[in-house]
Amino acid sequence: MIPLNWIVGLGAALFAIGAVGVMVRKNPLIMFMAAEMMWNAAALVFVAYARSFHAMSGQVMAFIIIGTAAAEVGIGLAIIVSVYHHRHRLDIDEVSQLKG
Amino acid sequence: MTYALWPEYSVVIGVFVTMIAVMVFNRRSIQAYWVGLATIVVSGIITIADWSSKSLPVALYGHAVTVDAFSLVVNGLVLVAAAGALMIGWNDKRYGPDFPVLVLLALLGMMVLGLANNFVVLFIGIELLSLPLYILAASRGTGESGEAGLKYLLLGAFSSGILLFGLALLYGASGTLVFTHLDPAHMILPLAGAGLALTVVGLVFKLGIVPFHMWIPDVYEGSPLPVTTYMAFGTKVGAAAILMRFLFFGFSLDAGWWGPALGYLAVLTMVVGNLLALAQKDLKRLLAYSGIANAGYLLVGISAHNMFGARALLFYLLPYGLAVLAAFAVIQFVAGERDSLSLDDLTGLAYRSPWLAAFLTVAMLSLAGIPLTGGFVGKFYLIQAALFANQPGLAIGLVVGAMVGLAAYVRPLQRAFSKAAGESSEPIRWPVAGSIVLVVAVVATIGLGVYPAPVVHIVNHSAAFYWLH
């Protein structure tokens, strides 16, 4: 049986990779994928703790995270495609008509 | 049989009926707007009926949701926000046929946030609020609107990820998903601390507090105008409600863990938000920075961590939202077919349309906090709460922020009351639905400033978390 701390450590590593990916990469698709990775890291940690507590609640949360992520991917890809149709290039630095 | 959740159920039914109306009546249908408005009215009536019912407060589904006076007040506020957004964008061809459906869906998310007492419900509420707003932000179909939608989507997904990981760590530290069962005294400390920090950062991202505010101006500027109105009012209500609920239910006895940090963020937000508002040339961006500054005022109510803070926060949401509705309605009228309005476009407004200039003045003065408007009363209660909590720094920060803000809000008024350069412009059209929103918002803003007692009474009743004193 894999120790709990290793799984949580893996979750933390995935979360960190995802967070760095969102901040460093320029392509919206990759950024979006990295954000989804953060979500899945959280789902992994929920499942790991649920197993160690012998409780169902964390696993319910993991399922809800997966379902919501699917909905978010549907909407997100639609928005990314519609932005691509306008410019025919995907680079977050070029999507900057609105100056912030 | 309890009717506690019927305000939410009626919105669910309304969403389905509105969807069917959009499908049946040939895409662009006025019927969908009427159904949406009727849903909001019905839900509001049930909320009022619940308010006087004896069965509240009630915890349902194993303490997953708590229906109490607090959640009913949040219901009321977000219903006003949704009605305002729907009527400002009433039957406008620019926003696509799904506009009323998505407004109702986001409304449902905000209402869920008001009654959450469980990580699952918190997460579902946040996503139910965000997902329709991503679509709405991009719904205009132009380059700017798409850009706003894309930025909102990426930063929304990012902040939800932070929030989720924080919740996961808190679950690991405590072994429960229910706020009121969290027991900070018996948690594994570093895990609980990291979880709390990440969760609060995720929620504060949604509220738009200063180190995490950079997405707000771009998203507000690029989104269609009614959607911006909805974000500025409804999203702030939802995020503030869930932040308060989460911290006051889960960590009320350990205010030392989060109170000082939120206090510093509040002061930073109030000052920086108002300072950046000074430099803006676009009116929507100015109001976006004003929204950031106002989120800082709201945070004062949370970090004060006493009954007065909770009351002041709930009260302040109403005058802030009304001022936002009025200001955006004026922008919508003056902008007409355009999507945004620069400060220069306001020049001579007082001569083109004295009424619009007067209404804009009331809205801006209320945001600035001038006496006889609701904004003044709200800020007064916030300062009172900060002083009762023995945190004079918060009160000083609020006053300094409001002073800087006054300068920012006076600039558009100065343009509006100066003479135009001579070219005659076409008269401004007053859409009926938008006019109703504008007049009601302005009258209510002044009414709150002159006679706030009824609202104060409701708010005092609803902020009665028994462990605060």
pLDDT in tens, B19-28: 888 888 766 6
The pLDDT tens digits of the residues spanning B246-294 come to: 988 888 777 778 888 888 999 999 999 999 888 888 888 899 999 999 9
Task: Name chain B contacts of A61, Cβ cutoff 8 Å.
Answer: 119-120, 123, 167, 171, 177
DSSP B17: H
A57-74 in b/e form (b: 16+ CB < 10 A) is bbeebbebbeebbeebee
The pLDDT tens digits of the residues spanning B313-364 come to: 999 999 999 999 999 999 888 887 777 788 888 888 888 888 888 999 999 9
Out of B158, B168, B215, closest to residue A46 by CB: B168
Contact B153 A15 (CB under 8 A): no
pLDDT band for position A98 (50/70/90)? low
CB atoms < 10 A from the CB of A4, how many?
Answer: 15
DSSP B3: -
* Predicted local distance difference test score (pLDDT) of residue B346: 81
Tell whether the model's pLDDT for residue B424 goes beyond 60.
Answer: no
**Stretch among A19-23, A52-56, B222-226, B465-469 having the lowest mean pLDDT:** B465-469
* Predicted local distance difference test score (pLDDT) of residue B393: 86
Tell whether the model's pLDDT for residue A97 goes beyond 70.
Answer: no
Higher pLDDT, B459 or B130: B130
A61 touches chain B (CB under 8 A): yes
DSSP B235: I
* Predicted local distance difference test score (pLDDT) of residue B318: 92
Quote the CA–CA distance of B328 and B400 in Å, as a whole number.
25
Mean pLDDT of the residues in chain A: 87
DSSP B337: T
pTM of structure: 0.91
Tokens representing B86 are: 């729907």
The pLDDT tens digits of the residues spanning B73-88 come to: 999 999 999 999 999 8
Tell whether the model's pLDDT for residue B211 goes beyond 60.
Answer: yes
Tell whether the model's pLDDT for residue A84 goes beyond 90.
Answer: no
Task: Name chain A contacts of B222, Cβ cutoff 8 Å.
Answer: 97-98
Q: For chain B, which residues lie within 8 Å of any Cβ of chain A, measuring from their own Cβ?
A: 119-120, 123-124, 127, 131, 134-135, 138, 141, 143-144, 146-151, 153-154, 157-158, 160-162, 164-165, 167-169, 171-172, 175-177, 214-215, 217-218, 221-222
| CB-neighbour burial class of residue A20 (10 A; exposed 0-12, middle 13-18, buried 19+) | exposed
Quote the CA–CA distance of B393 and B158 in Å, as a whole number.
32
* Predicted local distance difference test score (pLDDT) of residue B129: 93
The amino acid present at B441, given as its one-letter code, is A
Tell whether the model's pLDDT for residue A3 goes beyond 80.
Answer: yes
DSSP B231: I
* Predicted local distance difference test score (pLDDT) of residue B130: 93
Alpha carbon of B215: minimum distance to chain A alpha carbons (Å): 8
Tokens representing B172 are: 């690991």
Tokens representing B400 are: 């300094």
The pLDDT tens digits of the residues spanning A27-68 come to: 888 999 999 999 999 999 999 999 988 888 889 999 999 999
User: Which one of A27, A90, A98, A99 would you mutate to disrupt binding with B, by most B Cβ within 10 Å of its Cβ?
Assistant: A98
Tell whether the model's pLDDT for residue B227 goes beyond 80.
Answer: yes
CB atoms < 10 A from the CB of B272, how many?
Answer: 20
The share of chain B scoring above pLDDT 90, in percent, equals 35
Tell whether the model's pLDDT for residue B96 goes beyond 70.
Answer: yes
Contact B165 A60 (CB under 8 A): no
User: Which residue ranges make up each domain of chain B?
Assistant: 1-250, 254-469
* Predicted local distance difference test score (pLDDT) of residue B12: 93
Q: Is B118 helix (H, G, I), strand (E, B) or coil?
A: strand
The amino acid present at B252, given as its one-letter code, is S
Higher pLDDT, B468 or A78: A78
Tokens representing A70 are: 């699917």
pLDDT band for position B469 (50/70/90)? very low
End-to-end CA distance of chain B: 33
Contact A19 B138 (CB under 8 A): no
Tell whether the model's pLDDT for residue B190 goes beyond 70.
Answer: yes
The amino acid present at B149, given as its one-letter code, is G
Tell whether the model's pLDDT for residue B90 goes beyond 90.
Answer: no
The pLDDT tens digits of the residues spanning B154-175 come to: 999 999 999 999 999 999 888 8
Tell whether the model's pLDDT for residue A89 goes beyond 70.
Answer: no
* Predicted local distance difference test score (pLDDT) of residue B121: 93
Question: Contacts from B46-49 at CB under 8 Å and sequence distance 24+?
Answer: B46/B3, B46/B6, B46/B7, B46/B10, B47/B7, B47/B72, B47/B75, B47/B76, B47/B79, B49/B3
Quote the CA–CA distance of B276 and B278 in Å, as a whole number.
5
* Predicted local distance difference test score (pLDDT) of residue B199: 93
